[in-house]
Amino acid sequence: MSNSIAQSNNQIHVGWESPSNIALVKYWGKYGRQLPRNASVSFTLNTAASRTFVGLDGNNVSSQIEIDFTFEGKQNDTFTTRIEKFLSSIADEYFPFLREYKLKIDSSNSFPHSSGIASSASGMSALALCLCDIEYQLGSIQERDDAFFQKASLIARLGSGSASRSVYGTMAVWGQHPNVLASSDEYAVDIAANVHPVFRTFRNDILIISAKEKSVSSTAGHHLMEGNPFASARYTQANDRLSSLLVALANGDLATFGKITEDEALTLHALMMCSDPSYILMEEGSLSVINKIKAFRKQTNIPVYFTLDAGPNVHVLYPSEFEAQVSPFIHSELKPYCHEGKIIKDSVGPGPKKIL
């Protein structure tokens, strides 16, 4: 490469904002190189997001990946090591430029670090989009088209499975499933066009029951599924539930949506409780809030439901048209169970945005 081209490439600097997502049918169990044991589907969120900037920062003369990584403007050794390892694992196959240039990366989250919200889905999808964008700017690919997002989803998946779904707005399915056209274990697909309008503006208020770091990571949880005696029944169940949920999503069938979503959240936590060693990530507050949501629904007939990710925090899901009734309920009945009264009001969103 001539020096002048190398120098102009060093001006390349890109930025993407990418949201978190909340799974309705959960990915829980993986094998091989980040491949899911069952297909999963999620709502893409709007407010909870990561903003990542990546710039080429001079030529890399060593054969090792070299990055200067900052999180919210500050050096962070744990993240640096994790990202260097990740980039080394994908460089030769997917992004040869990573061995030619040093990289400057800065990332930040819209949600507070101590909120207990996992940032791997938003962070890894934002990073994957930046890497694909650099490849585009370097001229190796021609357009930011479907293939661009498909590659971003695949790269995000290699970083963290659930991140594959954050590349698309509204809703995405990751994992091969007979009822989802073009679905794949390698990357997620956009299913927004097959979703009834009621779900496109769904509310998702995140009740922060605890801001503590989880005692068992999701990655360790996935591995524990390998010895779980219910594993194979679980994978069949997840794929069956996804079939039924897809019909409910298309028809705007809130009751079926709610039943499957809640059953999935409880199954996820039940699987943790019957792993060996067993563990519990729900807290007393999580259970109290779940019972209050069920009682409120029974009393008012308002379609408000819950889900949980692999932690104690509870996501409250309801159609936007019921916000005026649900908000006061959350405020008076559920907020007292939240750590420092913390609630992140979020909703289904349009997906990642290019910010530089």
The nearer residue to ligand DP6, 102 or 185, going by C-beta atoms, is 185
Least separation in angstroms between CB 218 and ligand DP6: 4
Amino acid at 208: I
Least separation in angstroms between CB 36 and ligand DP6: 8
The nearer residue to ligand DP6, 283 or 309, going by C-beta atoms, is 309
For ligand DP6, which residue of 16, 18, 26, 312 counts as binding (CB under 6 A)? 26
For ligand DP6, which residue of 8, 75, 215, 219 counts as binding (CB under 6 A)? 219
203 binds ligand DP6 (CB under 6 A): no
Residue 252, C-beta contacts closer than 8 angstroms, at least 6 positions apart = 196, 197, 198, 199
Degrees to nearest 5, angle at CA 261 with 202 and 296 = 70
218 binds ligand DP6 (CB under 6 A): yes
To which H or E segment does residue 240 belong?
helix 231-251
Residue 173 · residue 242 · CB < 8 Å: yes
53 binds ligand DP6 (CB under 6 A): no
Which structure tokens are listed for 31? Answer: 């094998």
The nearer residue to ligand DP6, 26 or 102, going by C-beta atoms, is 26
Residue 304 · residue 318 · CB < 8 Å: yes
Least separation in angstroms between CB 23 and ligand DP6: 3
170 binds ligand DP6 (CB under 6 A): no
**Site residues for ligand DP6, window 225-284 (CB under 6 A)?**
268
Burial of 124-138, coded b for 16+ CB within 10 Å and e otherwise, reads bbbbbbbbbbbbbbb
Binding span for ligand DP6 by CB under 6 A among 158-166, 248-256, 299-307, 323-331? 158-166
In total, the chain counts a number of residues equal to 356
Least separation in angstroms between CB 237 and ligand DP6: 14
The nearer residue to ligand DP6, 134 or 242, going by C-beta atoms, is 242
- Cα 101 to its chain centre, rounded Å, is 29
23 binds ligand DP6 (CB under 6 A): yes
Least separation in angstroms between CB 8 and ligand DP6: 36
313 binds ligand DP6 (CB under 6 A): no
Least separation in angstroms between CB 188 and ligand DP6: 11
For residues 44 and 50, what is the distance between their CA atoms, to the nearest angstrom? Answer: 13
Q: Which of 117, 278, 119 is nearest to 208 (CA)?
A: 117
For residues 327 and 296, what is the distance between their CA atoms, to the nearest angstrom? Answer: 12
For residues 248 and 345, what is the distance between their CA atoms, to the nearest angstrom? Answer: 25
160 binds ligand DP6 (CB under 6 A): yes
Q: Give the largest CA-CA distance in the chain.
A: 72
Q: What residues line the site for ligand DP6 (CB under 6 A)? A: 23, 26-28, 34, 40, 120, 160-162, 218-219, 222, 268, 309-310
